[in-house]
Amino acid sequence: MELFKTWVRAARLRTLPLSIAGILAGSALATGLGYWDPALFFLQLATTIAYQVTSNFANDYGDGIRGTDNERRVGPQRTLQSGALSAKALRRGIALAAAVSALLTLATLWRAFGPGSFGYFALFLLLGALAIWAAIKYTVGPDAYGYRGLGDLFVFLFFGLLSVQGSQFLFTRHLLAEGWLPAIAIGALSAAVLNLNNLRDWESDRESGKNTLVVQWGYRNGVRYHVFLCVFALVALVAYLATQAEPWPQATCLLPFLIVGRHLATVRRVARPADLDPELKKIALSTFMVGLLLFLSNHYFL
């Protein structure tokens, strides 16, 4: 039982709501057009959770062996850092999680396209392979992109653009021009979560050679960037609502920005980066709520 709890800790369950926000938003777009397949929806949720768990295992391993996770780091202690799991055990966990991700990807694509759409199947199989690669290479290996300030870009692309537009495409088999706007919003908010994490850890990251954007730009500029991401997400959602003939049910997706606004006020006045840790769940859950409210409004009110 204790070992099971350790693996659950390594999986970082509190990150999972953020990972499914894009699937909820993409499914909302498809539902608004009359497309719905419960089995496909739940397969997409399971697949993106598997990707996230793979990424979390790999992040624990990559930062652990590099020494980035150390006594100076703020936040929950990682399993390799604490000695709860060995590097060998984590490598096996990464491999198993990646294998589960691959199998779920195949099942999702089979449900979406069946045997008659080889081109779509092959394209999304490639995108799935890239998602697994990105999950692992964030902190693992000598060329880990998270150590070169590229984490924000990959999060924006995979949690936002690919997650939202990819999800709705699996239902509809075509891209929606207006779908880029909620995709941008979810991507920007997801990048804000990563940036807030990097703001919190910027001192230990700098000392460990993890060159996040906050390390490269400095803490104050990192705060300004954080405000920009959140405001950019709000603008994208308002622009999306302006494209809708009946925007009012979906306008509930703006409610989480009441929390985001208070969150930004806190971030701007915090003096110690360590004090940002409680703010992570606020921005992560706000991102999840944007996706959930879009999904509920489209699924039940349109």
The domain that holds 284 is classified in CATH as: 1.20.120
Say if 12 falls within a structural domain: no
Give residue 38's pLDDT: 97
214-224, pLDDT tens digit by residue? 999 999 999 99
What would the mean pLDDT of 192-196 be, rounded to a whole number?
96
Query: CB of 42 within 8 A of CB of 24?
Result: no
Give residue 265's pLDDT: 96
Total domains present in the chain: 2
Q: Final residue of a domain: which of 119, 143, 167?
A: 143
Give the confidence band of 14 by pLDDT, cuts at 50, 70, 90: confident
274-290, pLDDT tens digit by residue? 899 899 999 999 999 99
What would the mean pLDDT of 229-247 be, rounded to a whole number?
95
Give residue 62's pLDDT: 82
Q: Is pLDDT of 235 > 90? A: yes
Say if 181 falls within a structural domain: yes
Q: Is pLDDT of 115 > 90? A: no
Q: Are residues 45 and 104 in the same domain?
A: yes
Q: Are residues 139 and 180 in the same domain?
A: no
Q: Are residues 123 and 196 in the same domain?
A: no
Q: Are residues 195 and 302 in the same domain?
A: yes
Say if 95 falls within a structural domain: yes
What would the mean pLDDT of 20-47 be, rounded to a whole number?
96
Say if 136 falls within a structural domain: yes
Q: Is pLDDT of 76 > 80? A: no
Q: Are residues 179 and 137 in the same domain?
A: no
Q: Are residues 202 and 287 in the same domain?
A: yes
What would the mean pLDDT of 218-235 be, rounded to a whole number?
97
> Which one, of 158, 154, 169, 168, lies nearest residue 119 by Cα?
169
Give residue 73's pLDDT: 59
The distance of Cα 79 from the centroid of its chain, to the nearest Å, equals 21
- The contacts of residue 285 (CB under 8 Å, 6+ apart) are 17, 256, 259
Give residue 70's pLDDT: 58
> Which one, of 67, 95, 97, 96, lies nearest residue 80 by Cα?
67
Angle at 61 between CA 56 and CA 63, to 5 degrees: 95
Say if 159 falls within a structural domain: no
Q: Are residues 115 and 181 in the same domain?
A: no
Say if 111 falls within a structural domain: yes
Q: Are residues 189 and 294 in the same domain?
A: yes
Q: Are residues 187 and 236 in the same domain?
A: yes
69/230: higher pLDDT: 230
What would the mean pLDDT of 120-129 be, rounded to a whole number?
94
Give residue 124's pLDDT: 95
What would the mean pLDDT of 295-300 be, rounded to a whole number?
87
Say if 153 falls within a structural domain: no
Q: Are residues 220 and 283 in the same domain?
A: yes
Say if 19 falls within a structural domain: no
Give residue 71's pLDDT: 61
Angle at 131 between CA 151 and CA 23, to 5 degrees: 95
Give the confidence band of 85 by pLDDT, cuts at 50, 70, 90: confident
Give residue 299's pLDDT: 78
Q: Are residues 139 and 39 in the same domain?
A: yes
DSSP element (H, E) containing 79:
helix 79-82
170-191, pLDDT tens digit by residue? 999 999 999 999 999 999 999 9
This prediction's pTM: 0.94
Give the confidence band of 2 by pLDDT, cuts at 50, 70, 90: confident
Q: Are residues 181 and 97 in the same domain?
A: no
Domain that holds residue 186: 175-302
